[in-house]
A and B are shown apart, each in its own frame.
Chain A
Amino acid sequence: MVTPTHYLVVSALLFCIGLAGILTRRNVLMILLCIELMFNAANLAFIAYADAWGNLGGQMAVFFIIVVAAAEVTVGLAIAILLSRQLRTLNADEVSLLKW
């Protein structure tokens, strides 16, 4: 039997995968994708809770989050393009003009 807890565990795992990806992948695009994973983990949690509570609030939230995530990717990609133009790289490690 699939309980909300199962959904939540999956959601937490998804969140962690996203985080792990952010920490390990060097490519900016990959990092953006991993961030998407984190948002989707939250989406999953919302859906699961909405189901558990039986109200629509959670589902409504998901729509908001999807829109925000989409916008975030848009901005992210735009910046990635600028990055590749200005610094000729998409490797996050190499983007460290600003430090200390």
Chain B
Amino acid sequence: MPADLVSCAWAILLSPLAAAALILLAGVHRPKLSAAAAIAGLLTGFLCAVRLFLHAHGRHDALLFESSVSWIALPGLTIPFGVLIDPLSLLMALIVTGVGSLIFIYAAGYMAEDAAVSRFYGLLSLFAFSMLTIVLATNWIQLFIGWELVGFSSYMLIGHWYAKPSAAEAGKKAFMVNRVADFGFMLGILALWAASSPTVSQRSFHFLTLERQLSSAIQAGLIPAGTLTLIGLLLFCGPLGKSAQFPLHVWLPDAMEGPTPVSALIHAATMVAAGVYLLCRAFWLFSGLPEVMTVIMWVGGATAFLSACLALVENDLKRILAYSTLSQLGYMVMAVGLGGRAEGMYHLGTHAFFKALLFLSAGSVMHATHELDIWKLGGLARSMRWTSACFLVGALALAGFPGLSGFFSKDEILVLARGHHLGIYVLATLTAGLTAFYTARVWFVAFTGSSRLSTRHGAGGGHHGVQESPPIMLVPLFVLAALSVAGGYLGIPRFLGASHAEFHWDVAATSVAAALTGLTLAWLIYKRQAVSAQQVVQALALPYSFLQRRYWIDEMYGWYVATVQQKLIAGLCAWVERVVIIGAAVNGTAWLTRGAGLLLRRCQTGRVQTYVFVFLIGVAGLLTIALTR
């Protein structure tokens, strides 16, 4: 393969890193330079990815190479660090660098007034590098490295406005939840490595080698099925955390405390999709483990449905989008669980477009109004035309409006679901309906009708205060809107080597019907107000409060962390430390020694005759011992 292609592949990975380094070394007090460096870095990456794509286009079979340096090289253990280019990684790299570049550009406008632009862009660049490390990884350890680094950059970016306690807490929470998941993930990697060969020196982390070794080992029956299932489940812990699947989803809504570009890039388009990417990357392994696949499918399905339900009652614009992200991620995971690697990736791609679009539009709204409560917004369609138009495109794509990208990708998943399991198919279709409902709810409440901002912002603010965002923010919106529309026609599944799925009219019709139902209901309730929202809530009081409290999962975790972990376990350990180890064992020994000293000095009565007596006893003792020898 041509050397320039290899260089291109490396450039995808390294140019954001170079940008990050530049910002750290020279850009700390130069926000403009930082922004420029970051954008240039990621754009370079994107162009390189495009170059590779163009090379591959039409002859995708030819595109499979890797290039690596050895990172750790010990006798018996080699861990390379490099780039693996195949359709899957190239597609993902395109999405990450492409959508990423747009968001980077957008952020230059969005964050223009921020005090810490350099830190922001430095971390964003670091994130891009880390994400690409995952995407282009040649082995599990490199993937894990990227996996942890995206977690770190996510933590830092969520807490970008660290002065806000909620932001600081949210960052912490995100990191922690992912850490818990990564505990299982790491064990999975270790176990997988150990399973690859009984001899340490022949083990490997390398994707392609592992695939070869394990496949033959499995065929030879060298590895017990239970072990493999366990490994699969442990590995699935990684996506469980990173892609925020139930029940480890709690961090994602809180992560909306970060700046909106961060939410768009990290918590919608790319990082959270890394879990899905991982499942696809190791698809050869998972697909051979039916029990694991079932678990993945149901976890995905449950996440899709349960999060969609949560989105119904949420009032914060970004959090609604976050739940929607959860729900869509559930779709993707479910797709992989159903055996649809290409379908999952397809939806990942389209979702990246329209969800980034939605978030950026929401960011645009927020930029103009500093308000996120949909009930305090309203009438934005008039004051922010372009933004609203973009939002509408994204919303329709999300809702699965026929012809838009979301429709196609979701449809393929539904087809897959129907072919496998009726229950999951019903669940997925139901979710599609719910999606349409909450999307429409946002649209009708926040964007149509009359503005409710003026009453709140007083005379100075008012309706006229709401300004459309600057072009630097709008242009990325337009590009993303175009992609959201056209995403279905780019041939993503085909690029991944999937045979073109047949279009099932019945499935499409059902899903469209579900979407329309949701849409209509939302229209009735929130636009026409034929049924008052209050009434609906009262009628469904119990499920409503259940949703309002988010299934009490946050409370349960909170209770676990604060009471069980902190007070009970840590408190007990601290008590043992203080009372048993320091108090009884250590100080006790010291006091015992001192007590013995106090006792012994009592022999020293001060009376000389006692001394003589003890002397005598000593002599007598010596003589007695001598006599008895």
Contact = CB atoms under 8 A, between A and B. Distances in A.
Interface string B561-586: 00000000000000000000000000
Contact of B607 (A19, A22, A93): A93
Nearest to A97: B606
Contact of A100 (B601, B608, B609, B613): B601
A10 B607 CA distance: 30
Interface in A67-100: 92-93, 95-100
Given A19-B616, A23-B616, A99 B606 contact: yes
A22 B606 contact: no
B538 interface: no
Contacts of B602: 100
B220 interface: no
B601 to A, nearest CB: 5
Contacts of B613: 23
B606 A96 contact: yes
Contacts of A19: 612, 616
A92 B606 contact: no
Contact of B604 (A22, A93, A99): A99
B609 A93 contact: yes
Contact of B606 (A23, A26, A31, A100): A100
Contact of A95 (B601, B604, B608, B616): B608
A97 B607 CA distance: 9
Chain B interface helix/strand/loop/mixed: helix
Interface residues on B, range: 10 to 19
A84 B490 CA distance: 119
Interface string B585-628: 00000000000000001101111110011001000000000000
A41 to B, nearest CB: 14
Interface in B516-531: none
A88 B616 CA distance: 29
B616 A96 contact: no
Contacts of B612: 19, 22-23
B622 to A, nearest CB: 15
A19, A23, A100 — which one has the most chain B CB atoms within 10 A of its CB?
A100
B514 to A, nearest CB: 93
A98 B605 CA distance: 8
Contacts of A99: 604-607
Contacts of B604: 99-100
B605 A92 contact: no
B616 A92 contact: no
Contacts of B605: 96, 99
Contacts of A26: 609
Interface in A1-38: 19, 22-23, 26, 31
A98 B608 CA distance: 10
Contacts of B609: 22-23, 26, 31, 92-93
A55 B292 CA distance: 106
Interface of A: 19, 22-23, 26, 31, 92-93, 95-100
Given A22-B612, A96-B605, A100-B601, 17 more contacts: A19-B616, A23-B609, A23-B612, A23-B613, A26-B609, A31-B609, A92-B608, A93-B607, A93-B609, A95-B607, A95-B608, A96-B606, A97-B606, A98-B606, A99-B606, A99-B607, A100-B602
Give the top 8 A-B pairs by smallest Cβ distance, nearest first.
A99-B606, A96-B606, A100-B601, A100-B604, A22-B612, A96-B607, A92-B608, A99-B604
